[in-house]
Copies of this chain bind each other. A is one copy, B any other.
Amino acid sequence: MAADADGGPHPDGTANGADAGSVYPPPTNPMVTALLTDMYQITMAYAYWKAGKHEEPSVFDLLFRKSPFGGEYTVFAGLEECIRYAANFRFTPADLAYLRTVLPSTTEPGFFDYLAALDARAVRIEAIAEGSVVFPRVPLMRVEGPLLVCQLLETVFLTLVNFASLVATNAARHRAVAGPDKTLLEFGLRRAQGPDGGISASRYAFLGGFDATSNVEAGRLFGIPVRGTHAHAFVSSFLSLADLPERSLPRADGTRCDDFVSLVQGKLRQLKETPAVAGWFGETNESELAAFISYAQAFPRAFLALVDTYDVIRSGLPNFVAVALGLAECGYRALGVRLDSGDLAYQSKEARKLFRGVEAAFHVPGFGSIGVTASNDINESTLEALNKQGHEIDTFGIGTHLVTCYAQPALGCVYKLVEVRGQPRIKLSADIDKVTIPGKKRPFRLYGKEGVALVDLLVGDDEPPPRAGERILCRHPFLESKRAYVAPQRVEPLYHLYWAGDKTGKGVQPLPALAALKEQCKQELAAMRSDHLRALNPTPYKVSVTARLYNFIHDLWLNEAPVGELA
């Protein structure tokens, strides 16, 4: 069963629903239609149709040539959306009316009739599982079927895979640096590249290893946990304690603390007189204290305060502690503080010192381990630097750098014709990295001892699949001298069939829920050798072809490449 296949309306509430009986809802973003494409797909479609080539059997590979962020791996994401797109691919009458206005008036009417009846039922899509760790040159998806319709899927498939995979990879890299025990929150919506840049980032950051998002709509659409407390505006909207209309707080045991405000003020006075924390502060900001009390009254079980509106050390932290001690006396445990500017390592250590001092002095068990969240322009390098300095942060809120993939804002997936009418096609280039591997082939992952991935091997469709225990010659696709024998302990075929034209989803791989994709990603990363994954000078993971495929490529290459003439 496809995700979201419970037959309900499309989760975004639009009328853009799927066919009855289909397990494939339309793409999440209703703007992803047959017209969301490059104009040259339409002009090519007409030229194919005019030349009678539109139904020619064809095979396209979708692949990338270099992993992002200077790394050696990529997390594949976006597949579910591609399959939903294929399953719902149609030109509406309104689409065709628009196309009539942008194609020449000489365009034959039969072409529009053809498009009106077109869908992707004749297309077959095999792909690597979403959430997998993948490598350059190994096609992530193989799209087979009539030339014209396969061509028309290109742009959206690239748009859906490029950004999804980029964000998932970025998230996995942030997770790797932060370590498995930290809580990672995606906070990027406001800085994202448009509304669904934000929504997609929330979704695929979760897939790649984040724990939650601030994005409420992404929470609703994908079931991602949502998190959030308050901003500086909340703090500065209070002028003084006189702004608090209510002084009481219901205790956790159901009784009532009639004057929570005075309780907190008392705690603040006590704090000042406590040797363990003496000298920290003089007068704290009263409007900040009012804001914290008010927030605690609204969320006594989820009190997390942003402490840098005025001065973290002299005002924010002591105000927080006073409210947290008041809450403790009423039977609640404060969640913690959020730091959003300045020296996060130093501030977090000071906060921890204070919390521990308070635990000892006030005898509040667990107070020393109250949470510290940090959220100011954090990226991979900041995390690395914080790790080196030492810090006491439990939770990171990461926005801009994560969601816009600041370090490299685009992944360069391409979609290449590798076979037409049974004939292999090769795209030549002066740059070896841009030469495509022609013909129908499928990838296998070969594992060694202890379940570690050794190499990905591309095997021609006309060859027998590799088998565990066999000694297999793995060749670099282009460089003659690079080759090695491998005797894998286990061989895993990387392709699964995801679309064969049947909207009931029969006979194809189901599309797993987001949580399962997240788990897939985690397990795949765990099966990689750590030197392939490290941020600094990672070892390239080997992608090879069989000896037979190697010869096939090179025969074709020599055949197609023009012979130069030195003059």
- Chain A residues within 8 Å of B, Cβ to Cβ: 12-16, 27-33, 35-44, 46-48, 50-53, 56, 58, 60, 92, 94, 98-99, 102, 104, 106, 147, 151, 154-156, 158-160, 162-164, 187, 189-201, 214-217, 219-220, 226-234, 236-239, 243-246, 279, 282-283, 285, 294-295, 297-302, 309-311, 314-315, 341-342, 400, 404-406, 409-413, 415-417, 420-421, 423, 425-431, 434, 560, 562, 565, 567
| Min CB gap A434→B, angstroms | 8
Pick from B230, B234, B429: contact of A341, CB below 8 A. Answer: B429
- The answer to whether B216 and A42 touch across the interface, beta carbons within 8 angstroms, is yes
Given A29-B196, A50-B246, A405-B409, 13 more contacts at CB 8 Å?
A13-B16, A14-B15, A14-B30, A37-B217, A39-B227, A44-B233, A104-B302, A162-B192, A193-B193, A233-B415, A237-B417, A239-B423, A309-B427
Evaluate contact between A44 and B234: CB separation under 8 angstroms: yes
Q: Are B310 and A195 closer than 8 Å at their CB atoms?
A: no
Q: Bound state CA distance, A546 and B451, in angstroms?
A: 70
Q: In the A-B complex, list the 10 residue pairs whose CB atoms are closest, starting with the nearest.
A: A39-B228, A40-B228, A193-B193, A158-B190, A47-B298, A409-B409, A233-B417, A15-B15, A404-B409, A38-B214
Chain B residues with CB under 8 Å of A285's CB are: 562
Q: List 19 A-B contacts (CB under 8 A).
A: A12-B31, A12-B33, A29-B196, A30-B30, A36-B215, A36-B217, A37-B217, A38-B214, A38-B215, A38-B228, A42-B228, A47-B297, A155-B189, A191-B411, A193-B194, A193-B201, A194-B197, A236-B417, A341-B429
Residue pair B199, A193 in contact (C-beta under 8 Å): no
CB-based nearest B residue for A227: B39
Q: Which of A12, A31, A234 counts the most chain B CB atoms within 10 A?
A: A31
Residues of the B chain whose Cβ atoms lie less than 8 Å from the Cβ of A282: 565
Contact B159 A194 (CB under 8 A): yes
**A94/B13 contact (C-beta < 8 A), A51-B244, A195-B31 known:** yes
A99 to chain B, nearest CB (A): 8
Contact A231–B191 (Cβ < 8 Å):
no
Contact status of A425 and B200, CB under 8 A, knowing A195-B29, A215-B36, A230-B47: no
What's the Cα separation between A315 and B234 when bound, in Å?
A: 66
Kindly state the separation between the CA atoms of A52 and B236 in the bound complex, as whole angstroms.
Answer: 15
Chain B hits for A236, CB < 8 A: 417, 420, 425-427
Contacts of A237 in B (CB 8 A): 48, 53, 56, 58, 147, 417, 420, 425
Closest residue of chain B to A187 (Cβ to Cβ) is: B38
Question: Which one of B35, B228, B298 lies within 8 Å of A41 (CB-CB)?
Answer: B228
Q: A400 and B421: CB pair below 8 A?
A: no
Contact A36 B216 (CB under 8 A): yes
Known: A405-B409, A417-B237, A562-B314. A51 touches B92 (CB 8 A): no
- A228 CB → nearest B CB, Å: 3
Cα separation A197 to B426 with both chains bound (whole Å) = 31
Closest to A46 in B: B298
Q: Which residues of B contact A244 (CB under 8 A)?
A: 51
Contact B412 A400 (CB under 8 A): yes
B341 touches A430 (CB 8 A): yes
The one of B38, B219, B231, B406 that contacts A189, using a Cβ cutoff of 8 Å: B38
Contact B191 A51 (CB under 8 A): no
Q: How far is the CA of A104 from the CA of B297 in the complex (A)?
A: 12
B residues near A216, Cβ cutoff 8 Å: 35-39, 42, 98-99, 102
Residues of B within 8 A of A53 (CB): 237-238, 243
Shortest CB distance A299–B (Å): 7
The answer to whether A219 and B102 touch (CB under 8 A), given A58-B237, A159-B192, is yes
Central interface residue in A231, A300, A423, by most chain B CB within 10 Å? A231
Q: Most chain-B Cβ atoms within 10 A of its Cβ — which of A47, A58, A315, A415?
A: A47
Report Cα–Cα, A211/B297, bound state, in Å: 55
The residue of chain B having its C-beta at the shortest distance from the C-beta of A407 within the complex is B409
How long is the Cα–Cα vector from A302 to B42 in the complex, in angstroms?
A: 14
With both chains docked as a complex, state the minimum distance between the C-beta of A566 and any C-beta of chain B, in angstroms: 13
Most buried by B among A239, A299, A301, A412: A299
